[in-house]
A = this chain, B = another copy of it.
Amino acid sequence: MQRRLRTSTALPSAWVPTFAPLTCRRWKSGPYGYTQAKALVYSKYGEPSDVLSLHNHSISPSLPSSSLLLRALAAPINPADINQIQGVYPSRPPFTSLLGTASPSAVAGNEGCFEVQAVGSGIKSVSKGDWVIMASTSFGTWRTHALADESAVLKIENKDGLTPIQVGTVSVNPCTAYRMLKDFETLEEGDWFIQNGANSGVGRAAIQLGNLWGLNSINVIRDRPDAEATQAMKDELLSLGATHVVTESELVSNSFSGQIGEWTSGGSKKVKIGLNCVGGKATSALIKCLSTSGHLVTYGAMSKQPLMLPAGALIFKDIKFSGFWVSRWSDNNVAEKKRMVEELLDLTRKGRFKDAPVQQLKWDWGTEEGVLKEAVQGTLEGFRAGKGVLVFGDT
C-alpha cells in the first residue's frame, strides 16, 4: 500500500512526489486519476495544538482489488480522540509511514461517516456511493479521503433520510448506551435505571432507548449556575423521555432515598442498573440508589476521581461493578455492531431517536491547519455546547 500513497508537504527529498504534481485538485478525469487528500496526523503524543499537523498526500487510482477509496462526510471529535493524541488512551493507532509523512505518524480520529468513491475489482459488499462507518477503532477518521480494506468498514444498508452527522456519530455514544442497558442486567419493562452525566451524548441516548424499551430512568445532571438553566436542561431531558431528572445536589440530599422509594413504589420496582461517567462522591451517592444486587457500569470518569466502594455494598448489598469500553466491545462484536447500528439508524430515520446536539466545524479544501487544530482544542477545553463534528464540504 505504501507505494500508492504519495505525499506533498515537508518531506525528505526522497519522498517528494514525482508522479503526482499538485497544481490542480484532482485528476479524476485525467490520465493519472490521483486523489488529493488531507489528514490531521501526529507523529508523537502531546497536546493536539502542539502535535497535530495537516498533511497533504495523494492516493493512486490503481486500487488494490480488496480496497476501497473513501471520502469523508462527517467525523466527530470525541474526548477519547483527544486522549488518544495525548497518549493517555490505552488504544493507540500504529504510527506508520504509509502517508509519506516525515516521521511515522497516525491519523487522528476514530469515528466517522464516509462515502465510497471507488472500489477495487474484488469488492462485492459495497459499491460507489454507499455510506460506511468504521468497523473498529483507530481507523483515523480526521481526513478527507482514505484507502480502506473492505473489512475495515461497515456498510450503511439504508442511508435514506439520514444525515452524515447522524451516521457519523452513531457508533460511539448511542452504542455505548445501548450495550450498557442490554448486556449487564436483564431489564424488564417497568424496571428503573439511574445515570449521571445524563445530558451527555451517552446520557441522552440512554434516556431515549430506555423510554423506547419501557424502562424508567432517574437522570442526574450537574447543578447549573441558575435555577432557570437547570430547569431548561431538566425540561430538555424530560422531553426526550426521561422519567425524572435531578441535580447532583438533589441526589446527595438526605431526603433522596425517600424520593427513590416513592418513585419505585417502596422498592417493589428495582433500580437494577446505574450508568456512571463521573466518579468520586457523586457516584458514591448514586451507588446508594441501586437496589440490592444492582449493577454499576462505569464508562467515564469526568471528575477524574476514583470510585470508592465500601465493602458492605459489595458483600451485603451484592452490588456488582463493571466497566464498559465501546472500543473493546466493537472490536469483538463486529456483526452485532452492524445490526445495532442499523436498528439505531432506523429509529433515527423514523424520528424515534434524536441525535445529540452538535456543533458543526466545516472542513473544506481551503480550511487551514490552524482552524482545524482550534476545532480540536475546543473539545479539549470543553467550551463547546454540543459535540464538535467535522463536516466535510468541498474537499
Binding site for B on A (CB under 8 A): 90, 279, 298-301, 306-325, 328
Contacts and interface: CB of A to CB of B under 8 A. Distances in A.
A91 to B, nearest CB: 8
Contacts of A311: 279, 298, 300-301, 306-307, 323
Nearest to A320: B322
A323 B294 CA distance: 12
Nearest to A321: B321
Nearest to A308: B306
Contacts of A308: 306-309
Given A306-B308, A306-B309, A309-B306, A323 B328 contact: no
So how many copies of this chain end up in the complex?
2
A321 B314 contact: yes
Contacts of A328: 316, 318
Nearest to A299: B315
Contact of A320 (B90, B306, B320, B325): B320
A246 to B, nearest CB: 22
The 3 A-B pairs of least Cβ separation, nearest first, read A314-B323, A301-B311, A315-B323
A331 to B, nearest CB: 12
A310 B314 contact: no
A314 B318 contact: no
Nearest to A91: B316
A309 B322 CA distance: 11
Contacts of A309: 306-309, 321
Contacts of A319: 323
A77 to B, nearest CB: 20
- Residue of A310, A315, A324 ringed by the most chain B CB atoms within 10 A: A315
A318 B91 CA distance: 13
A318 B309 CA distance: 17
A145 to B, nearest CB: 31
Nearest to A305: B311
